[in-house]
Chain A
Amino acid sequence: MTLEILGITVLWLFLFGYVILASIDFGAGFFNAYGMLTGKEHILSSVIERYLNPVWEVTNVFLVFFFVGIIGFFPKTAYYYGTSLLVPVSIGLVLLSIRGSYYAFTTYGGLKQKIFTYLYGLTGLFIPASLSIVLTISEGGFVRMENTRPVLDYWALFTSPLTWSIVVLSLAAVLYISAVFLTWYADRANDQLAFDLLRKYALFWSVPLLIAAAGIIVELRKHNPEHFNHLVSLWWMFGLSLLLFVGTGYLIWTRRSYKFAFWLLFWQFFLAFFGYGISHYPYLLYPYLSIYASFTNQSMAISLVIVFILGLGILIPSLYLLLKLFLFNEKYIQGKKNNHA
C-alpha cells in the first residue's frame, strides 16, 4: 500500500466515523423536534438526551480530523476546494455553529424555548444537505477553470438531478441510521414508548433510502461514465451492502435482535461508503485533482503517519472508556445513575 492510499483510507475512515455519529445526532435532533410538533416530545427526549450528552462534542472532532487531515495529506485540495466551496461550506459552518452552541445552551443553560428545539431539528437536515454538496462537486462538471483558478458553477450545480439525488440520499440516510440506532438504544433503556415510535421511523425511512441510492447510480451513469464503470466493477460490495440492508429491515420488522440489526446497518454503510470511495479512485476532484498529483512531500507524509499511529494509541483507549461508561453501561442508559453535571 502506498502512502497516498494509506492517507486517503485513513481520512475516509474518519469521515465514515463522522457520518455515522453525526447521522445519529442530526436524526435525533429532528425526531425530537418532530416529536414536539406532534405532542410526543416527552416520549423521546430523555432517551435522546442520555445518548447525546456525553458524545456531542466528540462527533464534531471527527469532522475536524477529516478536514485538517486532508489538507495535511493532500495540500492541493485547499486550493481547489477552498476556492470553489466558500459559500456552501460557510453556510454549513453557520448551521453547525448554531446547532452546536444551542445544544449546549439548552442542555447546560436551561434555555428551554420550543423555537430552539425546532431550529435544532431543522439545522440537522440542512447540514447534511449543505455538506453533501462536496460529494456532488467531486464528481466533476461543476467546477471550471478560469485563468488557472477554480470557479464553482452554481447554476449547473443546482439544476443537476445528481445534486438532488445526493441530497435526498444524505437526508434519508441520516434519518434511517439514527432511527435504527435509537431503536436499539431505547430497547436497552427499557423505554417501550420511545422504542415503538423509533421502530416505526426506522422502517419508514428505509424506503426513501433505497430509492435515492438507486437513483444516484442512474444519475452517475449519465454524469460521469468513468466513475459509473468503476462502480459497476465493484458490484459485489454494493450487492453485499444491499443484503445487509435487507437483513436489518427483517430483524426490525420481526422484532428480533436490535443490536445485531444496528451492526448489520453499520457494515451496510461501511461497504457502500468504501465502495463509493474506492470507485472514486484516483480522483479527489474529477478530473483536475488526483490523489497522486496532490499528495504532500515524502517527509511530511511519514511524519503524519507516525503522529497518526501515536495519536490512535491514545484515542482508541479513550473512546473505549467513553463508550464503556455511557453507551455500553446499562445503568446509565436506563437512567438509574445520577450523572448530572
Chain B
Amino acid sequence: MGNEESVFFSRVLTEMTLSFHIIYATIGVGIPLMILIAQWVGIKKQDDHYILLARRWTRGYAITVAVGVVTGTIIGLQLSLLWPEFMTLGGQIIALPLFMETFAFFIEAIFLGIYLYTWDRFKNQKRHLLLLIPVALGASFSAVFITIVNAFMNSPRGFDFVGGQIRNVNPVLAMFTLSMPTKVAHVLGTAYMTAAFLLASIAAFRLLKRSNHIYHKKALFFTMKIGLTFSIATALLGDFSGKYLAHYQPEKLAAAEWHFETGGGAPLLMYGTIQDGKVKNAIKIPFALSILAHDLPGATVTGLDEFPQDEIPPLYIHYMFDLMVTIGMLMVVLSLLYVMGIRRKWKFVLSKWFKWFIVLGGPLSLLAIEFGWWLDEVGRQPWILRGFMRTTDAATTSGQVNMMLILFAGLYLVLAIGSVTVLSRMFRNYTIEQELTDRNLEREGAAYDS
C-alpha cells in the first residue's frame, strides 16, 4: 500500500470512528444535565414522576456511556496510530487540554459509578442529587477540553514556527485560540439540545404506542421546553460561529456558501446543486451572506478567488451546511409550536401527526450533529493544522490501515446493533406502568416492615 492510500484509509477510518463516537458522546454530554434537571425538579415539586424519569434515563445512559467510553478510548489511541506526525507536533503544543480531558473523564466515571449504585442508599434524595453534579460537570468539561483541541487545529497559535521547528510554546495561549469560544459554546449547546430532543422522541413515541400515561406527557413537555431553550441558544451561537469564520477562516465559509468571488452585498445561497463550477437551482437571498458575516448588507465577504487552488476545501460542504441549519431551524419551530401549543391549548399539538414529527426530531438532531462536524472537519481541508501542516503529511506510513478499517467497521456495526437492541429491550420489557406498580408495592412493604 502506497503512502497516498495510507492517507486515504487513515482519513476514512478517522471519519468513521469519530462519526460513530459523536453519536454516543453527544448523548453522553447532554443526558447527565437532563437527568440532573429532572431529579432536581422532582425533589423540588415532590413529584415522583420526575425522579422516576431521572432514574429511567440513567439506566439507558449507562448503556450509551459504555459505548461512548470505548469508542472514545479508540479515537484517543487512533490519533497517535493514524496521525503520528501530527500528534508528535500536537503533543508539544496541545497536550494540556488532552490531559485535562482525562481528569474530567475520571471524575465523571467515578461519580457515575457512585450515582448508579446509591439510588436507595441515602434517605435524603438531595445528597444523591449532589453526586450527579460532578457527573454532569465532568461530561461537559470533557467536551470543552476536547473541543479546545479541535479549535486549535482550526486556528493554531501559541507557538513560533522557525525553519520547520516549534519554538516558544505557550500552552495556555494554545488553548484559548480564536475559534475556541464559539466552537465550545456551539458544541455544548447542540449536545444539550440533541439530548433533550432525543428524550422527547422517546416520550412522544411511547405516547403514540398505547401508553397514555401522565408520566410520558410530563416527560414530553419537560424535554421540549429544555430543547426549545437550547435550540434557540444554538442558533445564536451558530451565527457567532459564522461571523468567526468570515473574519478568521474565510475559505471555510466561502466553500460552504459557494461564494466564489470576493465582493460586497454578497447573497446567501440556500440548497441547489453545483455542476462544473456553476450553481443551479439555489435560492438566492440578496445581501444575506454579508449580513450573516459582518452584520452589514454592503460588507465585503472574502471569496474563494483569494486562495490558491490547493488550499480550497471541497465544495460539497455546502450541503452539510444547509442540512445542519435547516434541521436546527426546524427544531426551533417544532419545539416552539409545541410549548406554546400546550400553554394555549392548541389542539393540533396533541395530534398523532405532530407527535410523529417530534419522534423524528431526535434522530434529525443527531444527524445535524453529524452534518455540523463534517462541515467543520472537511471545511478545514487540506490542512490538519490550518496553515502549518497538511493532512497528507501527517498520516501514518503503515501499510495495514485498510485492514484496520474493516476490523473497526465490523466492531461499530456490532456495537450499534448491540446498544440499540439492549436499549429498546430495556424499556419495552420494563414499562413505566410496571415500574410504578413495583415501587408502590415496595413502599407499602417498607411501611409494613416499620
Question: Is A65 touching B106 in the complex (CB atoms < 8 A)?
Answer: yes
Contacts A71-B95, A93-B78, A109-B426 known; list 4 others, CB within 8 Å: A72-B96, A78-B87, A86-B400, A109-B422
A150 to B186, CA, bound (A): 40
Is residue A254 contacting chain B, with contact meaning CB distance below 8 A?
no
Dominant secondary structure at the A interface: helix
Question: Is A57 touching B107 in the complex (CB atoms < 8 A)?
Answer: no
CB-CB < 8 A to A339: which residues of B?
117-121
Ordered by A's residue number, 10 sampled pairs between the chains whose C-beta atoms are within 8 Å are A63-B73, A67-B80, A68-B99, A78-B88, A86-B396, A93-B73, A109-B426, A296-B91, A337-B121, A341-B116
CB-CB < 8 A to B109: which residues of A?
57-58, 60-61
CB-CB < 8 A to A149: which residues of B?
397
Question: Is B419 touching A101 in the complex (CB atoms < 8 A)?
Answer: yes
CB-CB < 8 A to A322: which residues of B?
110, 113-114
Is residue A1 contacting chain B, with contact meaning CB distance below 8 A?
no
Question: Binary interface profile of B, 108-128, with partner A (CB < 8 Å = 1, else 0)?
Answer: 011111101111110000000
CB-CB < 8 A to A64: which residues of B?
72-73, 76, 102, 105
Question: Is B170 touching A82 in the complex (CB atoms < 8 A)?
Answer: no
Interface size on A, residues (CB 8 A): 72
Q: Contacting B114 at CB < 8 Å: which of A56, A76, A299, A321?
A: A321
Question: Is B105 touching A61 in the complex (CB atoms < 8 A)?
Answer: yes
Q: Which of A136-155 contact B (CB under 8 A)?
A: 149
Interface size range of chain B in the complex: 35 or more
Question: Is B397 touching A83 in the complex (CB atoms < 8 A)?
Answer: yes
Interface set of B (CB-CB < 8 Å, partner A)? 58-59, 62-63, 65-67, 69-74, 76-78, 80-85, 87-93, 95-96, 98-103, 105-107, 109-114, 116-121, 134, 166, 169-172, 396-398, 400-401, 403-404, 407-408, 411, 414-415, 418-419, 421-423, 425-426, 429
Q: How far is the CB of B153 from chain A (nearest CB, A)?
A: 15
Knowing A57-B113, A93-B73 are in contact, say whether A105-B88 is a contact too (CB < 8 A). no
Q: Contacting A83 at CB < 8 Å: which of B74, B76, B398?
A: B398
Knowing A83-B396, A97-B71 are in contact, say whether A300-B114 is a contact too (CB < 8 A). no
Is residue A9 contacting chain B, with contact meaning CB distance below 8 A?
no
CB-CB < 8 A to B396: which residues of A?
82-83, 86
Question: Binary interface profile of A, 77-115, with partner B (CB < 8 Å = 1, else 0)?
Answer: 111011111110111011011101111110111110000
CB-CB < 8 A to B78: which residues of A?
93
Of A183-191, A203-211, A214-222, A311-319, the segment with at least 4 beta carbons within 8 Å of chain B is A311-319
Question: Is A108 touching B106 in the complex (CB atoms < 8 A)?
Answer: no
Question: Is B59 touching A341 in the complex (CB atoms < 8 A)?
Answer: yes
CB-CB < 8 A to A307: which residues of B?
96, 99-100, 103
A183 to B262, CA, bound (A): 74
Is residue A242 contacting chain B, with contact meaning CB distance below 8 A?
no
A80 to B78, CA, bound (A): 14
**Which partner residue on chain B sits nearest A325 by CB separation?**
B114
Question: Is B92 touching A300 in the complex (CB atoms < 8 A)?
Answer: yes
